[in-house]
Structure 1
Amino acid sequence: MCDSMEYKFNCDVKASDLWKMSMVRTYRSFLGVINIVFTVSMIAMTVKLWPGSEDFFRVMEILCCLIFPVFQPLAIWGRSYKQVEQQPKGVELLFLNSGIVVTCDGKEEKIPWSRVTRVIRQDSMIVIKTDDSYGYMIMNRVMGEQKDAFYNDLVALLKNQKR
Protein backbone atom coordinates (compact mmCIF):
# COMPACT_ATOMS: atom_id res chain seq x y z
CA MET A 1 0.00 0.00 0.00
CA CYS A 2 1.24 3.47 -0.78
CA ASP A 3 1.83 5.89 2.12
CA SER A 4 -0.51 8.57 0.83
CA MET A 5 -3.33 7.02 -1.13
CA GLU A 6 -5.30 9.41 -3.32
CA TYR A 7 -7.66 8.29 -6.06
CA LYS A 8 -10.48 10.33 -7.54
CA PHE A 9 -13.28 8.77 -9.60
CA ASN A 10 -16.72 9.74 -10.85
CA CYS A 11 -19.56 7.30 -10.32
CA ASP A 12 -20.68 6.65 -13.88
CA VAL A 13 -23.05 3.71 -13.57
CA LYS A 14 -25.27 2.91 -16.53
CA ALA A 15 -28.39 0.74 -16.71
CA SER A 16 -26.41 -1.84 -18.69
CA ASP A 17 -23.91 -2.12 -15.81
CA LEU A 18 -26.67 -2.82 -13.28
CA TRP A 19 -28.35 -5.24 -15.69
CA LYS A 20 -25.12 -7.16 -16.22
CA MET A 21 -24.46 -7.33 -12.48
CA SER A 22 -27.98 -8.62 -11.78
CA MET A 23 -27.80 -11.23 -14.54
CA VAL A 24 -24.41 -12.50 -13.37
CA ARG A 25 -25.63 -12.66 -9.76
CA THR A 26 -28.79 -14.51 -10.81
CA TYR A 27 -27.12 -17.09 -13.03
CA ARG A 28 -24.26 -17.76 -10.61
CA SER A 29 -26.76 -18.64 -7.89
CA PHE A 30 -29.10 -21.55 -7.23
CA LEU A 31 -31.91 -19.47 -8.75
CA GLY A 32 -30.04 -19.52 -12.07
CA VAL A 33 -29.89 -23.31 -11.98
CA ILE A 34 -33.64 -23.44 -11.38
CA ASN A 35 -34.21 -21.03 -14.29
CA ILE A 36 -32.15 -23.19 -16.63
CA VAL A 37 -33.81 -26.44 -15.54
CA PHE A 38 -37.28 -24.88 -15.96
CA THR A 39 -36.44 -23.55 -19.42
CA VAL A 40 -34.97 -26.86 -20.64
CA SER A 41 -37.98 -28.73 -19.19
CA MET A 42 -40.43 -26.38 -20.91
CA ILE A 43 -38.64 -26.75 -24.25
CA ALA A 44 -38.68 -30.56 -23.92
CA MET A 45 -42.36 -30.55 -22.96
CA THR A 46 -43.19 -28.19 -25.85
CA VAL A 47 -41.42 -30.44 -28.36
CA LYS A 48 -43.23 -33.52 -27.02
CA LEU A 49 -46.71 -31.95 -26.85
CA TRP A 50 -46.53 -29.75 -29.96
CA PRO A 51 -48.10 -32.12 -32.50
CA GLY A 52 -51.26 -32.71 -30.44
CA SER A 53 -51.67 -29.18 -29.04
CA GLU A 54 -54.29 -26.65 -30.06
CA ASP A 55 -53.25 -23.10 -31.00
CA PHE A 56 -53.96 -21.61 -27.55
CA PHE A 57 -51.77 -24.22 -25.82
CA ARG A 58 -49.00 -23.78 -28.40
CA VAL A 59 -48.93 -20.06 -27.63
CA MET A 60 -48.83 -20.81 -23.89
CA GLU A 61 -46.01 -23.32 -24.38
CA ILE A 62 -43.95 -20.80 -26.35
CA LEU A 63 -44.56 -18.10 -23.73
CA CYS A 64 -43.45 -20.46 -20.96
CA CYS A 65 -40.28 -21.29 -22.91
CA LEU A 66 -39.49 -17.55 -23.12
CA ILE A 67 -40.01 -16.63 -19.45
CA PHE A 68 -36.41 -16.91 -18.27
CA PRO A 69 -34.36 -16.40 -21.44
CA VAL A 70 -36.35 -13.35 -22.67
CA PHE A 71 -38.91 -11.91 -20.23
CA GLN A 72 -36.77 -12.05 -17.08
CA PRO A 73 -33.79 -10.21 -18.67
CA LEU A 74 -36.20 -7.58 -20.06
CA ALA A 75 -37.76 -7.09 -16.61
CA ILE A 76 -34.31 -6.77 -15.04
CA TRP A 77 -33.35 -4.22 -17.73
CA GLY A 78 -36.43 -2.15 -16.86
CA ARG A 79 -35.63 -2.29 -13.16
CA SER A 80 -32.00 -1.34 -13.85
CA TYR A 81 -33.08 1.63 -15.94
CA LYS A 82 -35.35 2.87 -13.13
CA GLN A 83 -32.55 2.44 -10.58
CA VAL A 84 -30.16 4.54 -12.67
CA GLU A 85 -32.77 7.28 -13.03
CA GLN A 86 -33.16 7.41 -9.23
CA GLN A 87 -29.43 7.67 -8.54
CA PRO A 88 -27.91 11.11 -8.01
CA LYS A 89 -25.86 12.40 -10.93
CA GLY A 90 -22.33 13.73 -10.70
CA VAL A 91 -21.18 11.74 -7.67
CA GLU A 92 -17.44 12.08 -7.19
CA LEU A 93 -15.43 9.82 -4.90
CA LEU A 94 -12.08 10.81 -3.46
CA PHE A 95 -10.21 8.01 -1.71
CA LEU A 96 -7.67 9.09 0.89
CA ASN A 97 -5.85 7.30 3.71
CA SER A 98 -8.31 8.91 6.14
CA GLY A 99 -11.41 7.69 4.31
CA ILE A 100 -13.69 8.39 1.37
CA VAL A 101 -14.91 11.86 0.51
CA VAL A 102 -18.19 11.74 -1.44
CA THR A 103 -19.13 14.92 -3.31
CA CYS A 104 -22.57 15.35 -4.90
CA ASP A 105 -24.39 18.56 -5.81
CA GLY A 106 -21.81 20.64 -3.96
CA LYS A 107 -22.31 18.68 -0.73
CA GLU A 108 -19.54 16.66 0.83
CA GLU A 109 -19.70 13.60 3.07
CA LYS A 110 -16.69 11.98 4.68
CA ILE A 111 -16.85 8.24 5.22
CA PRO A 112 -14.19 6.76 7.52
CA TRP A 113 -12.68 3.43 6.55
CA SER A 114 -14.25 1.89 9.65
CA ARG A 115 -17.66 2.18 7.93
CA VAL A 116 -16.50 0.24 4.86
CA THR A 117 -17.65 -3.33 5.35
CA ARG A 118 -16.43 -4.93 2.15
CA VAL A 119 -14.66 -4.38 -1.17
CA ILE A 120 -15.85 -6.58 -4.02
CA ARG A 121 -13.93 -6.91 -7.27
CA GLN A 122 -15.99 -8.04 -10.24
CA ASP A 123 -15.22 -8.33 -13.94
CA SER A 124 -16.37 -4.83 -14.84
CA MET A 125 -16.29 -2.94 -11.54
CA ILE A 126 -15.20 -2.57 -7.93
CA VAL A 127 -17.96 -2.24 -5.35
CA ILE A 128 -17.21 -0.55 -2.03
CA LYS A 129 -19.90 -1.51 0.52
CA THR A 130 -20.52 0.89 3.42
CA ASP A 131 -23.26 -1.31 4.93
CA ASP A 132 -25.39 -4.30 3.98
CA SER A 133 -27.58 -2.41 1.51
CA TYR A 134 -25.52 0.57 0.36
CA GLY A 135 -22.29 0.95 -1.55
CA TYR A 136 -20.47 2.65 -4.38
CA MET A 137 -19.82 1.07 -7.76
CA ILE A 138 -16.80 2.20 -9.73
CA MET A 139 -16.67 0.91 -13.27
CA ASN A 140 -13.44 -0.30 -14.89
CA ARG A 141 -13.89 2.23 -17.70
CA VAL A 142 -13.72 5.02 -15.07
CA MET A 143 -10.68 3.60 -13.25
CA GLY A 144 -8.70 2.84 -16.39
CA GLU A 145 -5.11 1.77 -15.74
CA GLN A 146 -5.40 2.57 -12.02
CA LYS A 147 -7.81 -0.32 -11.39
CA ASP A 148 -5.31 -2.89 -10.08
CA ALA A 149 -3.30 -0.44 -7.98
CA PHE A 150 -6.51 1.05 -6.56
CA TYR A 151 -7.93 -2.35 -5.60
CA ASN A 152 -4.65 -3.48 -4.02
CA ASP A 153 -4.41 -0.24 -2.01
CA LEU A 154 -8.02 -0.62 -0.82
CA VAL A 155 -7.52 -4.19 0.30
CA ALA A 156 -4.26 -3.37 2.09
CA LEU A 157 -5.77 -0.32 3.80
CA LEU A 158 -8.81 -2.25 5.00
CA LYS A 159 -6.63 -5.11 6.22
CA ASN A 160 -4.56 -2.62 8.26
CA GLN A 161 -7.75 -1.03 9.64
CA LYS A 162 -9.02 -4.34 11.04
CA ARG A 163 -5.84 -4.91 13.07
Structure 2
Amino acid sequence: MEEKFPIVIEIKLTAKDLWKFSLYHAYWGSKGIFSAIFSLAAAYLLITAWSTSTVAYRIMLLVSALIFTVWQPLLLYYRSVKQAKNPRIQNGMTLSFDEDGFLVSQGEESLLLNWENVKRGVRIGDMIILYMDQIRAYLLTDGCMAEKKAEITELIKEKLPPKRRKRI
Protein backbone atom coordinates (compact mmCIF):
# COMPACT_ATOMS: atom_id res chain seq x y z
CA MET A 1 0.00 0.00 0.00
CA GLU A 2 1.41 3.34 -0.99
CA GLU A 3 0.98 5.46 2.09
CA LYS A 4 -0.37 8.90 1.41
CA PHE A 5 -1.69 10.42 4.59
CA PRO A 6 -4.05 11.75 5.48
CA ILE A 7 -6.73 9.87 3.53
CA VAL A 8 -9.67 12.28 3.53
CA ILE A 9 -13.25 11.34 2.70
CA GLU A 10 -16.59 13.12 2.92
CA ILE A 11 -19.39 11.12 4.53
CA LYS A 12 -22.94 11.97 3.47
CA LEU A 13 -25.34 9.31 4.70
CA THR A 14 -28.69 8.69 3.09
CA ALA A 15 -31.84 7.20 4.58
CA LYS A 16 -30.98 3.99 2.72
CA ASP A 17 -27.55 3.80 4.40
CA LEU A 18 -29.10 4.32 7.82
CA TRP A 19 -31.78 1.74 7.02
CA LYS A 20 -29.18 -0.89 6.08
CA PHE A 21 -27.39 -0.21 9.36
CA SER A 22 -30.68 -0.52 11.30
CA LEU A 23 -31.60 -3.75 9.52
CA TYR A 24 -28.19 -5.20 10.35
CA HIS A 25 -28.73 -4.48 14.03
CA ALA A 26 -32.32 -5.69 14.04
CA TYR A 27 -31.67 -9.01 12.30
CA TRP A 28 -28.06 -10.04 12.99
CA GLY A 29 -27.32 -12.85 15.42
CA SER A 30 -29.86 -14.34 17.80
CA LYS A 31 -32.43 -11.60 17.11
CA GLY A 32 -32.45 -12.50 13.43
CA ILE A 33 -32.71 -16.22 14.13
CA PHE A 34 -35.63 -15.62 16.50
CA SER A 35 -37.37 -13.36 13.96
CA ALA A 36 -37.01 -15.94 11.19
CA ILE A 37 -38.22 -18.85 13.33
CA PHE A 38 -41.15 -16.84 14.70
CA SER A 39 -42.24 -15.68 11.23
CA LEU A 40 -41.87 -19.15 9.69
CA ALA A 41 -43.78 -20.77 12.54
CA ALA A 42 -46.62 -18.26 12.22
CA ALA A 43 -46.75 -18.73 8.43
CA TYR A 44 -46.72 -22.53 8.84
CA LEU A 45 -49.59 -22.39 11.37
CA LEU A 46 -51.51 -20.00 9.13
CA ILE A 47 -51.24 -22.36 6.15
CA THR A 48 -51.89 -25.62 8.00
CA ALA A 49 -54.72 -24.34 10.20
CA TRP A 50 -56.44 -22.15 7.62
CA SER A 51 -59.49 -24.34 7.09
CA THR A 52 -60.07 -25.09 10.78
CA SER A 53 -59.38 -21.69 12.31
CA THR A 54 -61.54 -18.68 13.02
CA VAL A 55 -61.13 -15.36 11.24
CA ALA A 56 -59.62 -13.77 14.37
CA TYR A 57 -57.04 -16.57 14.64
CA ARG A 58 -56.15 -16.20 10.95
CA ILE A 59 -55.68 -12.44 11.36
CA MET A 60 -53.50 -12.98 14.44
CA LEU A 61 -51.32 -15.50 12.59
CA LEU A 62 -51.09 -13.24 9.54
CA VAL A 63 -50.01 -10.28 11.68
CA SER A 64 -47.53 -12.54 13.51
CA ALA A 65 -46.05 -13.76 10.23
CA LEU A 66 -45.69 -10.21 8.87
CA ILE A 67 -44.46 -8.41 12.00
CA PHE A 68 -40.76 -9.22 11.49
CA THR A 69 -40.81 -9.60 7.71
CA VAL A 70 -42.79 -6.51 6.69
CA TRP A 71 -43.78 -4.29 9.61
CA GLN A 72 -40.37 -4.00 11.34
CA PRO A 73 -38.40 -3.24 8.12
CA LEU A 74 -40.97 -0.57 7.20
CA LEU A 75 -40.79 0.92 10.68
CA LEU A 76 -36.98 0.95 10.52
CA TYR A 77 -37.12 2.64 7.13
CA TYR A 78 -39.50 5.31 8.47
CA ARG A 79 -37.12 5.98 11.38
CA SER A 80 -34.15 6.13 8.98
CA VAL A 81 -35.90 8.68 6.78
CA LYS A 82 -36.69 10.76 9.85
CA GLN A 83 -33.09 10.45 11.12
CA ALA A 84 -31.67 11.38 7.68
CA LYS A 85 -33.51 14.71 7.93
CA ASN A 86 -31.50 15.61 11.03
CA PRO A 87 -29.14 18.52 10.18
CA ARG A 88 -26.17 16.67 11.71
CA ILE A 89 -26.72 13.83 9.23
CA GLN A 90 -27.62 16.06 6.27
CA ASN A 91 -24.55 18.25 6.67
CA GLY A 92 -22.26 15.25 6.52
CA MET A 93 -18.80 15.01 8.01
CA THR A 94 -15.20 14.72 6.97
CA LEU A 95 -13.01 11.83 8.11
CA SER A 96 -9.23 12.09 7.80
CA PHE A 97 -7.44 8.77 8.30
CA ASP A 98 -3.77 8.34 9.16
CA GLU A 99 -1.46 5.95 11.02
CA ASP A 100 -2.54 7.15 14.47
CA GLY A 101 -6.32 7.19 13.96
CA PHE A 102 -8.82 9.44 12.31
CA LEU A 103 -10.11 12.96 12.70
CA VAL A 104 -13.87 13.47 12.47
CA SER A 105 -14.86 17.01 11.47
CA GLN A 106 -18.24 18.62 11.07
CA GLY A 107 -18.50 22.35 10.73
CA GLU A 108 -16.38 23.95 13.45
CA GLU A 109 -16.28 20.79 15.58
CA SER A 110 -13.69 18.04 15.34
CA LEU A 111 -12.81 14.92 17.28
CA LEU A 112 -9.57 12.95 17.08
CA LEU A 113 -9.98 9.19 17.57
CA ASN A 114 -7.09 6.76 17.94
CA TRP A 115 -7.23 3.28 16.45
CA GLU A 116 -7.24 1.93 20.03
CA ASN A 117 -10.64 3.65 20.49
CA VAL A 118 -12.19 1.55 17.71
CA LYS A 119 -13.81 -1.45 19.41
CA ARG A 120 -14.46 -3.30 16.15
CA GLY A 121 -14.91 -2.91 12.44
CA VAL A 122 -17.49 -4.81 10.40
CA ARG A 123 -18.24 -4.90 6.67
CA ILE A 124 -21.89 -5.34 5.76
CA GLY A 125 -22.65 -5.20 2.06
CA ASP A 126 -21.31 -1.93 0.70
CA MET A 127 -20.51 -0.40 4.07
CA ILE A 128 -17.79 -0.59 6.72
CA ILE A 129 -18.94 0.17 10.25
CA LEU A 130 -16.35 1.37 12.76
CA TYR A 131 -17.78 0.92 16.26
CA MET A 132 -16.47 3.17 19.01
CA ASP A 133 -18.79 1.56 21.58
CA GLN A 134 -22.25 -0.03 21.54
CA ILE A 135 -23.95 3.27 20.74
CA ARG A 136 -21.53 5.25 18.56
CA ALA A 137 -20.37 4.08 15.15
CA TYR A 138 -19.11 5.61 11.93
CA LEU A 139 -20.59 4.32 8.66
CA LEU A 140 -18.21 4.33 5.72
CA THR A 141 -20.12 3.56 2.55
CA ASP A 142 -18.34 2.39 -0.58
CA GLY A 143 -19.81 5.40 -2.38
CA CYS A 144 -18.24 7.82 0.11
CA MET A 145 -14.88 6.04 0.07
CA ALA A 146 -14.91 5.84 -3.75
CA GLU A 147 -11.36 5.44 -5.11
CA LYS A 148 -9.92 5.52 -1.57
CA LYS A 149 -11.75 2.33 -0.55
CA ALA A 150 -8.74 0.03 -1.01
CA GLU A 151 -6.44 2.35 0.94
CA ILE A 152 -8.88 2.71 3.83
CA THR A 153 -9.59 -1.03 3.92
CA GLU A 154 -5.87 -1.82 4.04
CA LEU A 155 -5.33 0.74 6.81
CA ILE A 156 -8.16 -0.76 8.87
CA LYS A 157 -6.75 -4.26 8.35
CA GLU A 158 -3.34 -3.01 9.46
CA LYS A 159 -4.60 -1.15 12.54
CA LEU A 160 -7.35 -3.48 13.81
CA PRO A 161 -6.33 -7.01 14.78
CA PRO A 162 -8.42 -9.85 13.25
CA LYS A 163 -10.41 -10.37 16.46
CA ARG A 164 -11.66 -6.75 16.25
CA ARG A 165 -12.80 -6.89 12.62
CA LYS A 166 -15.21 -8.98 10.58
CA ARG A 167 -15.34 -9.41 6.81
CA ILE A 168 -12.85 -6.58 6.24
TM-score calculated relative to the size of structure 2 = 0.78
* Match of residue 56 from structure 1: 56
Change (3 A) 1:61 1:97: closer
Structure 2 gap ranges (5+):
162-168
- Of 139, 145, 148, the residue aligned with 1:137 is 139
Q: Distance in 2 between the 1:78 and 1:44 partners? A: 29
2:49 match: secondary structure? helix
Q: Which amino acid aligns with 2:40?
A: V
Change (3 A) 1:142 1:53: same
Aligned-residue identity in percent = 26
Change (3 A) 1:54 1:143: same
* Match of residue 151 from structure 1: 153
Alpha carbon RMSD of aligned pairs, Å? 2.4
Structure with the bigger RCO (C-alpha within 8 Å, sep 6+) is 1
Q: Which amino acid aligns with 2:101?
A: G
1:52 match: secondary structure? coil
C-alpha deviations, 1:80-136, integer Å up to 9, x for none?
233333461231111233432222123333334443333333321122233342221
Q: Distance in 2 between the 1:33 and 1:118 partners? A: 22
Q: Distance in 1 between the 2:134 and 2:48 partners? A: 46
Q: Distance in 1 between the 2:46 and 2:160 partners? A: 53
Q: Distance in 2 between the 1:47 and 1:114 partners? A: 52
* Match of residue 123 from structure 1: 125
Structure 1 gap ranges (5+):
none
Within-5 A mapping of 1:1-163: 2-86=2-86, 88=88, 89-158=91-160
Q: Distance in 2 between the 1:37 and 1:23 partners? A: 17
Question: Does the CA contact (< 8 Å) of 2:13 and 2:92 recur in 1?
Answer: no
Tell me which structure has the larger Cα radius of gyration.
1
Change (3 A) 1:87 1:11: farther
